Amino acid sequence: MTFDPAAEGATPAVASPTRKRSLRGGGPLRGDDFLELAGFTDVSTSAPGTMRPGALRGSARGRDLDSLAHTLFLRIYPVIAIVVLATQVGIAWVNYNDSLRLYTERANLLVALTAQAIARPDWSERPDVYTTQVQALTLDPAFRFVRAWNAEGGLVMSIGEMPGGRGIELIRASTAITLAGQAKPVGSLTLGLSTEALRANAEKQALLAVGASLVLMLAFVLTLHANVRKHVLAPLKRLLLAMREVEHKRWSTVAFDGAIRASNEIDVISSAFNRMVEGLRAGDEAKQLLSDLELAHAKLADANHQVMESIGYARRIQTSVLPDRMALAGAGLDVAVLWEPLHQVGGDYFWLERLGDVSIIVVADCTGHGVPGAFITLIVATALDRVLHERGLRSPAEILTVLDEMVRAQLRQDGRGSDSDDGLDCGLCIWDPEARRLTFAGAGLSLTTVTDAGVTRIRGAKRGLGYPRQGSESFSTGNVILDVAPGDTFYLMTDGITDQMGIHGTQRRLLGYRGVADILLRTRGEELGRQIGTLETELAAYRGSETPRDDMTLVAFRPKRQT
């Protein structure tokens, strides 16, 4: 494409009335119309293959492409500003509320500890004896006042100035002073802490947030402006010029800066335009190809949407089959559960139920994960329900034996021509609170105990349940009976917990059972829910950038201490 030197410096030609009517809606837009909309001059009288220099300059009579940048800024900048400011305000508000909650917890803890320290039968008659404990509260930088009253409401001790009303910059914490063995309080204690420092810090954070937001938005505007001009407006101008040439049957393609590439959407469109031009030279192949691609993309998107909807619905079904994690709350057991499928659904399953005087805890690791594994868990759940409620079995070993028969029958692994090679590993515990006795049986899955003596792994039978077998061989195992001491904790877990692969040093290493046991032993003093949370955090830290390899399920339970 060349330029006409004779036209250099000439006044750009005005579009004809016919052309103006076309731009105002009098007919379909042609390639020249696109050029005028982009701010180029009318080139209808130019010689073939040439273009006036004015066509590359902006024109007041057309819509300059620069207005596109202005429109983008007007549309995007307020949204970005609102989002950034709202985000910063939200973060500041969350931080302020968290700090306020910590202040309140600290005040409640201080007043409770002080009340316990001065709780003596003669505390109200001899306040001078306990003045030191109460005065220790004044060491807190936020201290404002403390008041102590006896059982009749008389003021026994007063330190600091107590404001008349409840201000927004003051936290009050009160507690009753009680003696061991007495239900009626012998007095009360009130502590006031100031939140002035908290408010000042919140104001400082708000100012920093506003400043950071302004800097971020300024940097965004400058970067967006430069990149829009370079990567949007300039390629669009080249594309529009090529469109005008193609309209006149001059098969011009879009030239790239440097080597041909497809680094962004406009370059992709330009590459597609060039391919379309090449196709138009040989016929209407490009149009048919585009139609086929759109149809295939629509079918693929619809199929993907249906699959994701089905998997989401399958997760709801599997979750509804899982028991309530508080099912054993009244059975004298503290229970915590970690259930994390590798995908939305998984092949791990657990069962918690109180039947009469005993409690049932089951963990199963079925073949596979994802949707195939989830189907096996439904079979196991149905079979287990029949074993426990229809047959009324209460021996773990007998339950596993019958469960094996039912699973094999359901999967037609009992000689009826099925090619199923599926099954499960399973661990089952029955807790008898009256005898304080735990009975365990396992099939390919172990029971881990953490006691004062350390960590013990009680292995079940090596063979899992289900799976085809030769002849009439049946599954069998025995029960392991444990006398439970106060504080003993028990864990049933699938191998997805121990099979954590991480990169340490220059080698990929498996965490293994020993690594998990060390974590459980180190955190044995924690409440079970917190311990499982710590375990999950440490497993993720060990994996690092590695992804999980299998479904993960762990049920931890600890008999409550008898009072």
- Is residue 296 located within the same domain as residue 375? no
pLDDT beyond 90 at 535: yes
- Is residue 417 located within the same domain as residue 458? yes
- Is residue 127 located within the same domain as residue 187? yes
Domain membership of residue 151 (yes or no) is yes
**Are 148 and 134 within 8 A, CB to CB?**
yes
- Is residue 308 located within the same domain as residue 329? no
> 222 by DSSP, 3-state: which?
helix
The enclosing domain of 161 has a CATH number of: 3.30.1140
Instruction: Give the other-Cβ count within 10 Å of 560's Cβ.
Output: 11
Domain membership of residue 230 (yes or no) is no
Q: Which of 162, 181, 199 is the last residue of a domain?
A: 199
- Number of domains into which the chain is organized: 3
Considering only 78-82, 110-114, 458-462, which range has the smallest mean pLDDT?
Answer: 78-82
Contacts 24+ apart (CB under 8 A), 95-102: 95/202, 95/205, 96/198, 96/202, 96/205, 99/198, 99/201, 99/202, 100/171, 100/195, 100/198
- Is residue 330 located within the same domain as residue 317? no
Cα separation, 8 vs 4, whole angstroms: 7
- Is residue 427 located within the same domain as residue 552? yes
pTM of this structure = 0.49
Domain membership of residue 81 (yes or no) is no
pLDDT beyond 50 at 55: no
Q: pLDDT tens digits, residue range 451-481?
A: 999 999 999 999 999 887 766 678 889 999 9
Considering only 191-205, 327-341, 388-402, which range has the smallest mean pLDDT?
Answer: 191-205
Domain membership of residue 366 (yes or no) is yes
pLDDT beyond 80 at 230: no
Query: What are residue 242's phi and psi, to 5 degrees?
Result: -65, -35
Considering only 18-32, 183-197, 246-260, which range has the smallest mean pLDDT?
Answer: 18-32
pLDDT in the model for residue 26? 46
pLDDT beyond 50 at 240: yes
pLDDT in the model for residue 8? 41
- Is residue 294 located within the same domain as residue 372? no
Q: Mean of the per-residue pLDDT values for the chain?
A: 80
CA dihedral 528, 530, 533, 538 (to 10 degrees): -100
pLDDT in the model for residue 166? 52
Q: What is the DSSP string of 351-412?
A: EEEEETTEEEEEEEEESSSHHHHHHHHHHHHHHHHIIIIIS----HHHHHHHHHHHHHHHTT
pLDDT beyond 50 at 41: no
Domain membership of residue 471 (yes or no) is yes
Domain that holds residue 532: 324-559
Domain membership of residue 66 (yes or no) is no
**Portion of the chain with pLDDT greater than 70, in percent:** 82
pLDDT beyond 50 at 178: yes
Domain membership of residue 395 (yes or no) is yes
